[in-house]
Chains A and B, each alone.
Chain A
Amino acid sequence: MNLFKSTVGRKILMAVTGLCLVGFISVHLIGNLSVFAGPDGINAYAEHLHALGPLVWVFRLIMLGLFAVHITFGVQLYLENRAATPDSYAVQKSLVTTFSAKTMVFTGLIILAFLLYHLLHFTVQITNPDISAHNLALDAANRLDVFTMVTKSFHNAFIVLVYIVAMVALTLHIFHGISSWVQTLGWSTGTSQDKVTAIGKLVAIAYGLAYIAIPLLLLARIVK
């Protein structure tokens, strides 16, 4: 199908899957922020999620599909673009492009690596068995004590560092991504693009700050 081969088709696929993934991190962020409401917040949230049963698996499959498309074409386009530019200039100069735009594939791969770690850490819970929710006592309302798992994890400076690095990469990634989709989907009319780009960059920074706030505030014991 042309969509999967064409230069524009694949670009549109990147934008659409990217948008869906931004939707995912938006929902994820709202869920995460419930940690600030204490054990009753995040433990209840986790319980609700688990109660969805098979739907969770449907959701996970969709996510897998989105990631697969986004990563496959992202890497493929990157390799094609590398091949199209075999030689570099003696004097390299960027006029308007951003560090974020130039490093999409790298930030993307960092996010992928982080994603695997993150799943092992909080979903499969095998990286830090001593503080994983499965091994902790249930909370007062007989729920898995996700809150304690999260706070204890983020009292570990190394884990916090990993998360911060990953979230910086995520911020950079969506910094370009969120400002691009209007253009890619053909809704830009020129004048509107500047505004969308500016808003996109602000949103990316806001997401980044919010995500980084969680481990950082926990580490600093500002949130207990």
Chain B
Amino acid sequence: MDLTLHVWRQKGPQDKGKLETYPAKGISSDMSFLEMLDEVNDGLIKSGQEPIAFDHDCREGICGMCSQVINGRPHGKQEGTTVCQLHMRQYNDGDEIFIEPWRAKAFPVQKDLIVDRTSLDVIMQAGGYVSCHTGGVDDANALLIPKPTADYAMDAAECIGCGACIAACPNSSAMLFTSAKVAQLAALPQGKPEARKRVLAMTQAILDEGFGNCTNHYECEAACPKGISVKFIAKLNREYLKTMMPTSTGA
């Protein structure tokens, strides 16, 4: 099939970018979207132009590196799919495709479709962990965790940290991303001792990093390639409310 691409090109973080139009000819429907871009890039290189820079790594939908907004939708039109797992059979001959980077103040564009997502790491560093030491921990079966709890935690833990939720959010809020980790650790007994500290620190980091506030649009859930539910945001809110209750130790 033959397609027309409109791709965001931007030389560097300080430069102004714009959409450029490229033809993509003779694309096989078995190709993945990124393989289609590889083809276009090979053509650009041969004609002496700079290829389109885009983030990608595992190409199997788990590393969370790929990040493109395709026709207004993060990761493209196939639900529950990262760009690297999106296949060209989703498109038809003659389609026009707009490809843009994640857009948010906290995700400055570095070049073309590549953005800086360090802010997500900073949110994690604020408290996305259980402070256990290496070694000296209990036997794994000493803590019984009911299957529904383990499943709930796993549902939240499936987040790949790609940032599609932020790219889709009209407020550029990182609430779904943050809530997935807060909910995972708050549900598990291991995470409870630090639950109060964690939710306060991580939600503070959201604002410090320049993300917006959640106003319940739920675009995040719809755009998430892993189907992370907004119920985890409710869980985060609940955890936040708990911090306002006095504890038995009076703290």
Contacts and interface: CB of A to CB of B under 8 A. Distances in A.
Nearest to B155: A190
A190 B227 CA distance: 12
Given A7-B207, A92-B72, A95-B219, A12 B241 contact: yes
* Category for how many chain B residues contact A: 35 or more
Contacts of A190: 229-231, 234
A17 to B, nearest CB: 15
* Category for how many chain A residues contact B: 35 or more
Contact of A84 (B72, B211, B223): B211
B130 interface: no
A85 B223 contact: no
B238 to A, nearest CB: 3
A95 B170 CA distance: 11
B198 interface: no
B184 interface: no
B72 A12 contact: no
Interface string B100-136: 1001111000000000000000000000000000000
Contacts of B171: 81, 84-85
Interface string B213-244: 11111110111000001110111111111011
A222 interface: no
Given A7-B213, A95-B168, A193 B71 contact: no
B240 A12 contact: yes
Nearest to A179: B216
Interface string B194-222: 00000110011011001111111111011
Given A8-B236, A80-B213, A95 B206 contact: no
A53 interface: no
Contacts of A6: 200, 203-204, 207, 240
A127 B203 CA distance: 47
Nearest to A189: B231
B80 to A, nearest CB: 13
Contacts of A188: 230-231, 234
B100 A185 contact: no
B67 to A, nearest CB: 13
Nearest to A192: B231
Contacts of A142: none
Contacts of A84: 104-106, 171-173, 210-212
A183 B212 contact: no
B241 A185 contact: yes
B215 A88 contact: no
Ranked 6 nearest A-B pairs via Cβ: A186-B238, A93-B72, A190-B231, A84-B212, A81-B171, A91-B72
15 contacts: A3-B244, A8-B237, A80-B207, A81-B171, A81-B213, A84-B171, A85-B104, A89-B72, A90-B98, A93-B72, A95-B73, A97-B217, A183-B234, A185-B238, A187-B238
